[in-house]
Amino acid sequence: MGYSVNKLASELLAAAEPTPSTRLPLSSMDRIAGIRLMIDLILVFENGLQPAKAIRAALSRALVLYFPVAGRIVEPIPGEAEVDCTGDGVWFVEASVDCSLKDVNNLERPLLLPREDLIPYAPPDCVALLVQVTEFRCGGFAVGIRFNHTMFDGIGVAQFTKAVAELARGHACPLVKPVWCREAIPSPPNLSRRHAPSPPGIHFETSVFDISSDQINALKNQFCRETGQKCSTFDVVTAMLWQCRTRAISLDPHADMHLGCAANTRHLLRGLLPQEGFYGNCVYPMGIKANAKTISGSSPVEVIELIRAAKTRMPAMFLDWMMGYTDDDPYEMPLEYGTLVVSDWSRVGFSEVNYGWGEPIHVVPLNDDHNFIPSCIYLQPSKPKQGVRLMTRCVQKEHLPAFTEEMKQFVHN
């Protein structure tokens, strides 16, 4: 193997036109301690024509409308982070590698190129966004993205990335106009201002599982037969994952198993936020708790019902928290092995990014160094597969064989 990526040029890329110089407040949700971190991902594309040049120009144009992204996150008062719209720019890297995507298995897991070669790095001065375009000998390319979670949530950074792609495709302006509007989100009185959690030193193994549409539909149909109700793909996949993991790690039957799901709450703030365009954090961690015996011993339908009941309760719980009617801090998930946090990236928009040569063949999250909580990200599988891809970092090495065995019954090979 031994291919090495050549980082040809790196720069601070500023907006294509002058932009306002101001300070903008971040919302209470942007300032939650647990999200003060960088998130890494790669979008892999089969072919392109001078993609680095096209993306660089489009990125510079996108920063005119998204000018806060070219600023710097500052904290003049501890816990009161805001954006200083300096116009300094985002970090942009142009790179190439002397191999084809096929030579490195299309950057499927496990990666055959070092992640450091595919992701941009810059001096740490609170840059909100870093982008690297790596061109392959076959004409394919990869876009490595590092984003500061304080600036965006997943839907927000996907909206920005799609805006860049639309400009690269020749649109005069992005199809969705960005809206800042952070000050419209209420500040709950009991908001967590503690620092981001420090890793407890547990190493979670990374695994990828592709769940077929057939298997998902079979469970949906079973649920419908037994309850007379419909359930979603998310309900089915989350129930199956939670049950498989709980059985595999075999904690005490009375141990509490916590499930946290990152729920988009834009629709619950409709009176405060515009219908589209908001790119800040707007995620609430829906929490469910049950003991290990219940999760392991129940039928899939019963576990799905637990998840659906939590989804039904979520809007009222979110609004109670927003208005300060509850003392609970939903963001304080127990940092222990019995906890599992899931994030659904399959519908946030990364799979729809098209710079002019088609959508990505797949999306690769790269947060292997975030070891403070067991987690799973839901993705679309590599084309042409249908269903859901799970990228899990939720079991220690000793439990990986049992977890893989449990998952096998749901995996479409």
* In a shared domain, residues 293 and 171: no
Residue 382 domain boundaries: 205-408
* Number of folded domains that form the chain: 2
pLDDT in the model for residue 323: 83
The domain boundary, picked from 133, 155, 184, lies at: 184
Out of 122, 155, 184, a domain closes at 184
Task: Let me know whether 84 and 125 are in one domain.
Answer: yes
Shared domain check, 254 and 399:
yes
Q: Is the dihedral of CA 106, 108, 112, 117 positive or negative?
A: positive
Q: In terms of domains, do 123 and 219 share one?
A: no
Task: Give the closest residue to 104 by CA, choosing from 142, 146, 49.
Answer: 142
Which residues in the chain show pLDDT less than 50? Answer: 194-195, 413
pTM over cut 0.85:
yes
Rounded Cα gap, residues 205 and 207, in angstroms:
6
pLDDT tens digits for 144-172? 999 999 999 999 999 999 999 999 999 99
pLDDT at 197: 52
Q: Are residues 152 and 268 in the same domain?
A: no
Terminal Cα-to-Cα distance of the chain (whole angstroms): 26
Tell me if 170 is assigned to some domain.
yes
Tell me whether residue 190 is in a domain.
no
Q: Are residues 28 and 104 in the same domain?
A: yes
Residue 413 confidence (pLDDT): 44
CATH code of the domain in which 79 resides: 3.30.559.10
Q: Is 173 in the same domain as 243?
A: no
In a domain, 200, yes or no: no
H-helix or E-strand spanning residue 406:
helix 400-408
- 55 and 130 assigned to the same domain: yes
**Hey, what are 372's tokens?**
């403070």
Cα(298)–Cα(294) distance, rounded to whole angstroms? 6
Judge if 254 and 152 occupy the same domain: no
Query: Does one domain contain both 221 and 321?
Result: yes
- pLDDT by residue (tens digit) across 214-240? 999 999 999 999 999 999 999 999 999
Q: Quick one: 155 and 255 in the same domain?
A: no
Q: Backbone phi, then psi, for 402, in 5-degree steps? A: -65, -40
413 in a domain, yes or no?
Answer: no
Mark which of 184, 214, 248 sits at the end of a domain: 184
